[in-house]
């Protein structure tokens, strides 16, 4: 059974107890803390005891978004936001702060487990890609945009653009064939997982965040009813 060590940050003890029970039954090891201060006091780092953080945004002491920002500053450990705020603005903001994914309350245990597995697989793939850096191709240039898959870094006009793991993967997939239209389903199957259990709007939220970080929405064009393509702005 595939399992990960999870840090659960959730102030509602009844919800936390249910999550700990369900995730433990799925084979995961779960440590629960009830507020932002405890999350920031925990040893969350790339070499720390946890493989992933499940972070509720509605914390009693600190804004969960600030906690996410600080955790991301310290570590590349995947973060899944748990939030009751389901509109696009909040989803995009969460991704911009460094979250790898989000799940909106109410959600099923099946959905959360699927997202944990998908994020875990993508994180493992990213690490494997980094270990094979010597065989990776050189940085790709598309107009003023440079994408280096070996270091997983992106530069625009020689200025580095800070992207989350998922944002980089979406951009890199679109850049595999500049100008070609990629459907939302293709992006989900490649960047997330063929067994992804979640809405295609996840792709739209990541694209919206990428557009903002690239400073011009024309970098990623939406093709109505199909998907997206990457091209330098005209």
The stretch 62-67 carries a mean pLDDT of: 92
Of the CATH numbers 3.40.50.2020, 3.40.50.2300, 3.40.50.12780, 2.70.150.10, which one belongs to the domain with range 5-129?
A: 3.40.50.2300
Q: What's the pTM?
A: 0.62
Are the folds of 5-129 and 134-230 the same?
no
- As given in the structure block, the two tokens for residue 110 are 């099946």
The Cα–Cα gap between 123 and 120 comes to 5
Question: Does the pLDDT at position 67 exceed 60?
Answer: yes
Position 14 scores a pLDDT of: 94
Average pLDDT over residues 145-166: 89
What's the pLDDT score for residue 138?
59
Q: What is the pLDDT of residue 132?
A: 47
Lowest mean pLDDT among 4-8, 51-55, 135-139, 199-203: 135-139
* Spatial contact of 113 and 23, defined as CB atoms under 8 Å apart: yes
pLDDT digits (tens, 9 = 90+) for 91-138: 777 777 788 888 888 888 888 887 888 788 766 655 555 444 444 455
Q: Which CATH fold topology does 134-230 show?
A: Arc Repressor Mutant, subunit A (1.10.10)
Segments making up each domain of the chain, as ranges: 5-129, 134-230
């Amino acid at each position: 059974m595939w399992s990960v060590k999870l840090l659960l940050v959730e102030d509602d003890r009844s919800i936390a107890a249910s999550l700990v029970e369900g995730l433990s039954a799925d084979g995961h090891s779960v440590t629960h803390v009830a507020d932002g201060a405890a999350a920031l006091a925990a040893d969350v780092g790339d070499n720390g005891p946890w493989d992933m953080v499940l972070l509720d945004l509605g914390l009693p002491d600190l804004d969960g978004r600030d906690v996410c920002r600080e955790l991301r500053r310290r570590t590349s450990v995947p973060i899944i936001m748990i939030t009751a705020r389901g509109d696009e603005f909040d989803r995009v903001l969460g991704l911009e702060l460094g979250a790898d994914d989000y799940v909106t309350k109410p959600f099923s245990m099946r959905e959360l487990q699927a997202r944990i597995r998908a994020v875990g697989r993508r994180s493992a793939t990213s690490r494997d890609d980094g270990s094979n850096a010597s065989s990776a191709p050189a940085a790709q240039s598309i107009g003023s945009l440079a994408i280096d898959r070996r270091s997983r870094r992106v530069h625009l006009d020689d200025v580095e653009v800070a992207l989350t793991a998922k944002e980089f993967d979406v951009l890199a997939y679109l850049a595999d064939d500049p100008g070609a239209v990629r459907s939302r389903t293709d992006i989900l199957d490649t960047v997330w997982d063929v067994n992804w259990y979640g809405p295609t709007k996840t792709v739209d939220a990541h694209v919206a965040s990428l557009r903002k970080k690239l400073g011009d929405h024309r970098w990623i064009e939406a093709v109505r009813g199909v998907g997206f393509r990457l091209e330098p702005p005209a």
